[in-house]
Structures are given as structure tokens and as C-alpha cells.
Chains A and B, each alone.
Chain A
Amino acid sequence: GAGVSQSPSNKVTEKGKDVELRCDPISGHTALYWYRQSLGQGLEFLIYFQGNSAPDKSGLPSDRFSAERTGGSVSTLTIQRTQQEDSAVYLCASSFFLRARTNTGELFFGEGSRLTVL
């Protein structure tokens, strides 16, 4: 499809297990973001990839969280030793590079991966 694709759409796991969430951005988009939305909360920034630059990891809540982006395209968010407070919808978004003069900076979001940690 032409949009941002995320998988799995739903994941239920037991506390202490590791999970991997995948994001396929829109082809040609150089920027990729991960956000999460906990129940009743806003969009919490996690990590931002822009081209070949070092990612902005300032939003990752702990060292149990990591993300990589291979070949400037697909990204995987990994949560190790999951905790109940990790339960949330994890949203991926992509966009063109913000410095382009004609770029509105619009982010295109996937439908999210709902993570439930029991």
C-alpha cells in the first residue's frame, strides 16, 4: 500500500518478555518517528530518524527501549523485558525532510501497534 504500515496491529505479551514492533514508512520519506499513546494520554515522542544522521533518541523512556532503521527504510522498535506500564499504542510516522522549502512538515501515521503487557 501507499501508506505507513505497522505490524503487528495487536500484541499481547507477558511481563518480562521482549517485543518487536515493525514500521514500513512511505517510500521516499527520509524522516521516521516513533510515538506512543498510553490510555487517555497524548502522543509521547520516542525516537526520530532523519536520513543518515544520528537518531534523536531523547524520548526513549528507558534503556529497555531501542530502535533501528535499516537501509533508511523499515524500522523496528524493540522493548526488552516488558513491563505493564509499557502497555500503549505505538505509532509510527514518516515524512519528507523538514528542511525542504515546499515541505509542510506533515507526518503520515500508521494505524499503530497496540501493545498489552499482562
Chain B
Amino acid sequence: DQQVKQNSPSLSVQEGRISILNCDYTNSMFDYFLWYKKYPAEGPTFLISISSIKDKNEDGRFTVFLNKSAKHLSLHIVPSQPGDSAVYFCAASARGFKTIFGAGTRLFVKA
């Protein structure tokens, strides 16, 4: 039972353009959503998060949008840079309970 789904295994964008990574969840108890970035041979690192009481959170080039009625969130990266090439994981949690991760989306940013 996949509670957090990232249906696109990979995404390729041109440098300078927008990257949009999508994530869907099924558990309505989730109240915190996070995005992590992972480079090969390293552990995932936190990128940005959003609480369920918000619908948008922005941090520099990164913006996360949350649509609770659709149980959908997305990560926008603009402008995309070659150094953004990595695997991006969507994660969700309910306070006090375990964090569940999606399968990840591999982003390629072409120079």
C-alpha cells in the first residue's frame, strides 16, 4: 500500500527552465510534507517542507505547493541548474508517527 506516490521516475529539463516534480498521497492524516534531494552515494538531504495549514512555501528557487483536496503536492525549481540534477523524494508524516517516502524522481538538468 503506497501512501506516497511519485509517478514519474525521471524528468529532464533544460537549464534555466522550470522543473516541476509531482507527488500524490492517500492518507488524509498526513499533516507535514517534505522534499528531500539525494545525490549518488550520499544520504538524502532536506530541501523544503510545508505544513498542511499552508498551500505554498517558498525558499529561494524552490517552491512547494500543496493541494489538500486533491491530496497532491508539487515542487517547483526555477530556474533549474545543472547542480539540481539528483533524485528528489517526496515524504509525508503525521505528527508523532513515521515519515513515509515516495519512490523518488530522478531530475536531469541539461546545460
- List chain A positions with a Cβ less than 8 A from chain B: 4, 33, 35, 41-43, 45, 48, 50, 56, 58-59, 91, 93, 97-99, 104-112
- What size tier do the contact residues of chain B reach? 20 to 34
Let me know if B64 is at the binding interface, CB within 8 A. no
* 7 residue pairs, one from A and one from B, having the closest CB atoms: A109-B43, A42-B103, A43-B101, A48-B98, A106-B46, A98-B95, A105-B32
Contact B45 A104 (CB under 8 A): no
Contact A104 B49 (CB under 8 A): yes
What is the minimal beta-carbon distance from A31 to any residue of chain B, in angstroms?
9
Residue pairs across A and B with Cβ atoms less than 8 A apart, 11 shown, are: A33-B98, A43-B104, A45-B99, A45-B101, A59-B98, A91-B44, A99-B95, A104-B34, A104-B46, A107-B46, A109-B43
Chain A residue with the shortest CB-CB distance to B99: A107
- Known: A42-B89, A107-B46, A109-B45. Is A98-B96 also a contact (CB below 8 A)? yes
Chain A residue with the shortest CB-CB distance to B47: A106
Contact A50 B103 (CB under 8 A): no
Contact B49 A106 (CB under 8 A): yes
Contact A99 B43 (CB under 8 A): no
Chain A residue with the shortest CB-CB distance to B95: A98
Contact A112 B99 (CB under 8 A): no
Most chain B beta carbons < 10 A, residue from A42, A58, A59, A107: A42
* Bound: A48/B100 CA distance, A: 11
- List chain B positions with a Cβ less than 8 A from chain A: 6, 32, 34, 36, 41-46, 49, 89, 91, 93, 95-104
- Known: A43-B44, A98-B32, A109-B43. Is A50-B101 also a contact (CB below 8 A)? no
Query: Could you say which of A56, A58, A104, A109 contacts B44, with CB atoms under 8 Å apart?
Result: A109
* Bound: A42/B97 CA distance, A: 19
Contact B32 A45 (CB under 8 A): no
Residues of A near B41 (CB, < 8 A) are: 111
What is the minimal beta-carbon distance from A19 to any residue of chain B, in angstroms?
19
Contact A41 B103 (CB under 8 A): yes
What is the minimal beta-carbon distance from A102 to any residue of chain B, in angstroms?
11
* Bound: A56/B34 CA distance, A: 21
Contact A35 B32 (CB under 8 A): no
Residues of B near A43 (CB, < 8 A) are: 44, 89, 101, 104
